[in-house]
Amino acid sequence: MLHPELSKDQVASYMRRIPSTRVWVLGDVMLDRYHWGVVDRISPEAPVPVVNVTRRSSRLGGAANVAANLRALGAAVTLMGVVGADRAGEKIRHLLDKDSVDSTHLLVDRQRETTEKVRIIAQSQQVVRADFEVVDPIPEQFKEKFTSSLLSGADDCDALIISDYGKGVIQADYLHEIISAWRGRGKWLLIDPHVGHFIWYRGAGIVTPNTKEAMSIYNEHIESDDALSELGFKIKEDLSLEALLITRGESGMNLYFGDRKELHVPAVAKEVYDVTGAGDTVIGVLGAFLGAGAELVDSVIIANQAAGEAVKEVGTTTVRTDVILSAFK
């Protein structure tokens, strides 16, 4: 198992290339809404806490959070997804414009509700979450538009990220066409997967499941590092991937690549407040650095460091380049 070291100078060298890097993101776009407050009593109507809301905020979620993480690193980003003709969709577009994300390929489906997740937070603790969503497959004409735009714009793109949350945007038929066309172009195609869709990802560059998602592929329960290694190599080979990255929370990450090569990167977070959006940060950072020409192993080490910073915050967040750079010597 490899244990490489990465210097601050090398990380900085990669970072200087990111502003000239363009990454496309295709996937399920969401709006994350937060109601922040304090609990001061139990409801007389039911045995539940009453949260006195003192502040509200809205953040980009899902594929839009991936795009936000890319922009935080300085990459040029084009986001492709679907929203409804509603206030949540308008808010997403406003936040994307604020972050200078190209949203010209963010399509509006008037028959669809924008995916929205509402969280109530009291004393930094999530009390409840309410989801508003439609998970039906997107219309055929939307698939055709995404496919046409991606294939015609591939030469102007350094990496493509697929953010599959299972909300209907990613479908097997046109994803297969995209992967087939992308393979052989010498550019990375990264996928943040959804349980049950793994067979759709055959031939991709790198797929980034967490441990639970990885075990779901063959319905296995893994209890040892050796068993996890065999599972990782099996997934990589069965799906004909260039690499597989299993994120393991407090146990770090395992990368499977090349001819049965494995890299374990220990977790760096000492304080974990919220893992919401950590996967978005991982794949966003990977896409930015791989798109900028960084080595795969180096990109994984940097993404692991960024994830350690992201989980220190409550809710979805982005990680700045100076914060990442400060972690290296």
Q: Whose CA is closest to 288, among 70, 115, 113, 63?
A: 70
Whole-Å CA distances, 258 to 148, 244, 246, 261, 288: 31, 10, 15, 6, 21
Q: What is the pLDDT, as a whole number, of residue 323?
A: 86
Q: How far is CA 60 from CA 44, 63, 89, in A?
A: 35, 8, 11
Tell me which residues of the chain have a pLDDT lower than 70: 1-4, 269-277, 313-315
Strand order in the sheet with 125-132: 49-62, 29-42, 115-122, 125-132
138: which 2 tokens?
């997107």
Residue of 28, 280, 298, 322 marked catalytic:
280
Looking at residue 315, what is its pLDDT? 64
Is residue 254 within 8 Å of residue 243, measured between CB atoms? no
Using DSSP bridges, classify how beta strands 261-265 and 253-257 pair: parallel, antiparallel or unpaired. antiparallel
Helices (H) and strands (E) in the chain, counts: 10, 13
Domains parsed from the chain with CATH numbers: 8-31+61-116+134-325 (3.40.1190.20)
Q: What is the pLDDT of residue 1?
A: 47
Residue 280 among the catalytic residues: yes
pLDDT for 273 equals 52
The pTM for the full model equals 0.94
